[in-house]
Homo-oligomer: A and B are copies of this chain.
Amino acid sequence: MDKKLIGVDLGGTTIKFAILTTEGEIQQKWSIETNILDEGTHIVPDIVSSINHHIALYNMQVEQFVGIGMGSPGTVDLDAGTVIGAYNLNWKTLQQVKKVVEQETGIPFAIDNDANVAALGERWKGAGENNGEVAFITLGTGVGGGLVSNGKLLHGVRAAGEVGHMIVQPQGYLCTCGNHGCLETYASATGIVRVARDMAEEFAGNSKLKQMLDDGQEITSKIVFDLAKKEDLLGKMVVERVCYYLGLACANLANLLNPSFVVIGGGVSAAGEYLLKRVNKYFQEFAFPVVEKTTTLKLAQLGNEAGVIGAASLALTFK
């Protein structure tokens, strides 16, 4: 009998679920709202009851499942299956996720942080082509990362894969982490807007972006890229600077890990080939020759589904 996997992608606004084959094909998917009230105490019970409900709904048995895998914000203890410090979930104290889920579903449970899980998803079924050497960078509100080498996620002591906190400009912008010049301060969605505001101040030419900023209009990273694609002068300069830092970070990452693919995902990566081409230009400038020839930059392919797919793959260890 073909056994199935369950993947859970826990986010601040929704919790996504999927039932997958052990080959990673999604067979069912659904989602519920994340109820962060009462210090997030409803979250784990909601996950459990949603899983149990859907197992019953699809006339399936607990024995048909290899395991449940989940990606979570916050600091995850893989072995204990606990999470702490997931502030967007109101989880300030230690959450016994694995213990409760296994008790209430009767299915083995594994957990990792959301960036790592998205990396596993893209690696398994997306741009990573199931290769054993894949780095994943996600450009969203922040910049996250997940690194796979020798076919396994790298965790280090606790916080490997902090791609967003690589220093690309010593004495650069102040980051929320307290350091200066982290990649995140330039290449996250908010970082790009920050670069735009900064460069606009010294820009004296003709630019719609400049006008919008001077008018006090709301600017997003998407607007910056869209205007750049339409040949807006300031927009092009901002994109060039952002891609310079991204290319430098990708090159230094690749000089250390020499992955087959550096996969770029997250909201900002919606800028597509326009972004990739420019990051690649700087990557090629800064990568060690052998690395430049053997590591390829790619856009992510799975979008929102990377999380549930990667989460489900955590459960393959129970196979």
Q: How far is the CA of A232 from the CA of B83 in the complex (A)?
A: 52
Binds B, one of A144-152, A211-219, A309-317: A144-152
Contact A255–B158 (Cβ < 8 Å)? no
User: Which of the residues B152, B158, B257 comes within 8 Å of A256, measured between beta carbons?
Assistant: B257
Partner of A288, one of B165, B170, B286: B165
**Which of B154, B159, B163, B260 is the one whose CB lies under 8 Å from A291?**
B159
Asked, given contacts A150-B152, A152-B150, A285-B179, whether A294 binds B166 with beta carbons under 8 Å apart, the answer is no
User: By the criterion CB–CB under 8 Å, are A259 and B165 in contact?
Assistant: no
Q: How far is the CB of A112 from chain B (nearest CB, A)?
A: 14
Q: Is A178 an interface residue (CB 8 A)?
A: yes
Hey, what's the 0/1 contact readout for A154-194 against B, CB within 8 Å counting as 1? 11111111110111001000000111001000000000000
How many chain copies does the complex carry?
A: 2
**A255 contacts which chain B residues (CB < 8 A)?**
162-163, 165-167
- Give Cα distance in the complex from A251 to B170, angstroms: 12
Q: Is A9 an interface residue (CB 8 A)?
A: no
Q: How many angstroms between the C-alpha atoms of A253 and B85 in the bound complex?
A: 25
Give the residues in chain B near A295, CB-CB below 8 Å. 156-157
Which residues of the partner chain B approach A248 to less than 8 Å between Cβ atoms?
A: 167, 170
Q: Which residues of B contact A289 (CB under 8 A)?
A: 177-179
Chain B residues with Cβ below 8 Å from A162 are: 255-256, 258, 288, 290-291
Does chain B have a CB within 8 A of A252? yes
Question: How far, in angstroms, from A182 to B248 measured CA to CA in the complex?
Answer: 12
Contacting pair B149 A179 (CB below 8 A): no
Residue-wise interface mask of A (251-278) relative to B, using a CB-CB cutoff of 8 A (1 in contact, 0 not): 1110111111000000000000000000
A133 on the B face (CB < 8 A): yes
In the complex, chain B residues whose CB is within 8 Å of the CB of A161:
256
Q: Interface 1/0s, chain A 231-248, versus B by CB < 8 A?
A: 000000000000000001
Which of A155, A159, A253 has the most chain B CB within a 10 Å cutoff?
A159
Bound CA–CA A8/B241 (angstroms): 48
The answer on a CB contact under 8 Å between A294 and B157 is yes
The reply to whether A256 and B259 contact each other, CB–CB distance below 8 Å, is: no
Q: How far is the CB of A239 from chain B (nearest CB, A)?
A: 18
* Chain B residues with CB below 8 A from A287, complex form: 179
Q: How far is the CA of A182 from the CA of B157 in the complex (A)?
A: 27
Of the listed residues A158, A165, A177, A251, the one surrounded by the most CB atoms of chain B closer than 10 A to its CB is A165
A residues at B contact (CB < 8 Å): 133, 145, 147, 149-150, 152, 154-163, 165-167, 170, 177-179, 182, 248, 251-253, 255-260, 285-291, 294-295
Would you mind naming 6 contact pairs between A and B with Cβ atoms under 8 Å apart? A149-B149, A157-B260, A159-B291, A163-B255, A165-B255, A167-B248
Top 10 closest pairs, chain A to chain B, by CB: A156-B258, A165-B288, A157-B294, A159-B290, A160-B258, A162-B255, A167-B286, A162-B288, A149-B154, A159-B258
